[in-house]
Amino acid sequence: MQNRNDSEPHGRLLLIDGDEPHAQVVAETLGQSLGGRMRIAVAAGGRQAVELLRDTGFDIVLADLSCLRDLCERSDDAVARLVRLADGALFVAVSDGASVSAAVGAMRAGAHDYVVKPLNGPAMAARIGELAQRHGKGRSLSIEPQAQGRSDYAGFIGASSAMQFVYEQIGRVATSSAPVFITGESGTGKDVCAEALHEEGPRRDKRLVAINCAAIPRDLMESELFGVARGAFTGAHDDRKGAAELADGGTLFLDEIGEMDLSLQSKLLRFLQTGTLSRVGESGVRHVDVRVICATNRNPMQLISEKKFREDLFYRLHVLPIHLPPLRQRPTDIMVLAQHFLARYAAEEHKHFTGFTPDVASLLTSAEWKGNVRQLQNLVRRLVVMCDGGTITMPMLVAADIESRGVVTPVEPTPRVERRPVILPMWQQEQRIIEDAIASFGGNVSLAAAALEISPSTIYRKRQGWAEMAAAS
């Protein structure tokens, strides 16, 4: 018996999409989401698809109904013809939300399924997996849905292995009552994680009460957390429950726990040890049953060493740790998230976007994302608001990004007044290119030379020449 190499593609997929750059992005994200298990070919319209189908056998055909007009006037006639040619391949019609009748017509003409644009790689891969399974082709194509991992989970979007690990941890610890300690840079989804833990656990029918320890003034924090008795201080006209009591039976989420005042940390520790609290200005104690989740974007060990965080409290809270990886460490999630936010904000703004051009996708994928998912989300939202629709191109990205001074290197704004550009002599332009390259490698001439594909000695020689030219001019 011959062993099949698992890293080899096991089937062929034909993507018919009239918009070439968009098709390339879809093919790339879909290919990644299918784990490289399918060889993907792209046809720019119905006619090209016919040629490819005549030459090659495909297992799956994904056809955008809006680009088949070069084959037949009616999309259902085109689908019927392609289905015949595809000879048993699974046929998925892609329609935009507005043309439900076209999707129905495609199904009548022999399509096995239809999906609505915009196409999202992981969701599409999961759909293909289900379809293959339903038609008994899952095993031969090696794309059973369970082999895919999850592309979303309880409010999270992301199919990377780092996020699979996070989903698994949440699933495992959600049922416990022990405290969870979430760490991760700002914008990595610590709030999303707290909500997922609550929703996936047995306390979901009770409240999740969140309190941000950095946002509440120090002298109000105790009453916000533990409540207040009437007359405890000027302005305390009524008895009031704090976050802990409000969360009774549910979950108390202490966000930015690293910012909590030291004296309140002792009271929190006592609450965790005894399960009882006293409202400010009250002498009796109350029993409260909460599951505590806390989060910080600081390094807790450093806070402890700086004596800003009590070590005993840390070990009380740090029972079930979950770390959320920064976005730059899971680049395969970037376009998945970008497509998700694009679809979401486009729907909110009643606009139609098809995706991102490959150069935009590659820039987004390699960006540093210091603000993590929040930064990406804000950028996509700004793009949707600023642009009319279609595919997000590099000029659109640059225009939207200048506002945020973020992902793309800011470029000079276009001058309003038409002016003849100042042309510098060739040696000065060359000098600028080379010096910029050296600066971007932190002054390392060898690295800059390698990037410019010249030798370091050329740079040294040119520098000497520039010094002489400058002295002469």
The verdict on 250 binding ligand ATP (CB under 6 A) reads no
Cα 183 → chain centroid:
18
Query: Segment contacting ligand ATP (CB under 6 A): 2-10, 16-24, 111-119, 151-159?
Result: 151-159
With beta carbons less than 8 A apart as the criterion, state whether 314 and 268 touch.
Answer: no
Q: Using CB under 6 A, count the residues that bind ligand ATP.
A: 16
- 41: tokens are 């070919």
Alpha helix locations (H) across 249-331? 262-274, 300-305, 311-317
The verdict on 186 binding ligand ATP (CB under 6 A) reads yes
Of the chain, the end-to-end C-alpha distance in Å amounts to 78
The verdict on 192 binding ligand ATP (CB under 6 A) reads yes
Hey, which residues between 203 and 232 contact ligand ATP (CB under 6 A)?
none
H helix or E strand, kind and range, residue 276: strand 276-277
Query: Segment contacting ligand ATP (CB under 6 A): 103-111, 188-196, 203-211, 280-288?
Result: 188-196
Hey, which residues between 91 and 130 contact ligand ATP (CB under 6 A)?
none
The verdict on 187 binding ligand ATP (CB under 6 A) reads yes
The verdict on 430 binding ligand ATP (CB under 6 A) reads no
CB atoms within 10 A of CB 69: 14
Query: Segment contacting ligand ATP (CB under 6 A): 45-53, 66-74, 115-123, 369-377?
Result: 369-377
- 188: tokens are 């990595």
Distances from the Cα of 455 to the Cαs of 232, 236, 451, 462, in angstroms? Answer: 76, 75, 10, 11
Q: Which amino acid is at 116?
A: V
From residue 257 to residue 296, the character string flagging contacts with ligand ATP as x (rule: CB under 6 A) and all else as - is ----------------------------------------
Query: Segment contacting ligand ATP (CB under 6 A): 181-189, 201-209, 218-226, 345-353?
Result: 181-189
One residue of 81, 190, 203, 279 binding ligand ATP per CB under 6 A: 190
With beta carbons less than 8 A apart as the criterion, state whether 70 and 47 touch.
Answer: yes
Instruction: Give the nearer residue to ligand ATP in terms of CB position, either 188 or 251.
Output: 188
One residue of 297, 332, 339, 431 binding ligand ATP per CB under 6 A: 297
Query: Segment contacting ligand ATP (CB under 6 A): 183-191, 196-204, 222-230, 273-281?
Result: 183-191
Q: Which residue shows structure tokens 């730059």?
A: 328
Burial of residue 186 (CB within 10 Å: 0-12, 13-18, 19+) is middle
The verdict on 188 binding ligand ATP (CB under 6 A) reads yes
Instruction: Give the nearer residue to ligand ATP in terms of CB position, either 70 or 191.
Output: 191
The verdict on 408 binding ligand ATP (CB under 6 A) reads no
- In whole angstroms, the minimum distance from the beta carbon of 255 to ligand ATP comes to 6
Phi, psi (5° rounding) for residue 429?
A: -65, -40
Q: Which residue shows structure tokens 């707290």?
A: 194
The verdict on 355 binding ligand ATP (CB under 6 A) reads no
Facing residues of 115 across strands? 94
Whole-angstrom Cα distance, residue 404 to residue 23? 29
Facing residues of 294 across strands? 181, 254
The verdict on 157 binding ligand ATP (CB under 6 A) reads yes
Q: What are the residues binding ligand ATP (CB under 6 A)?
A: 156-158, 184, 186-192, 297, 337, 373-374, 377
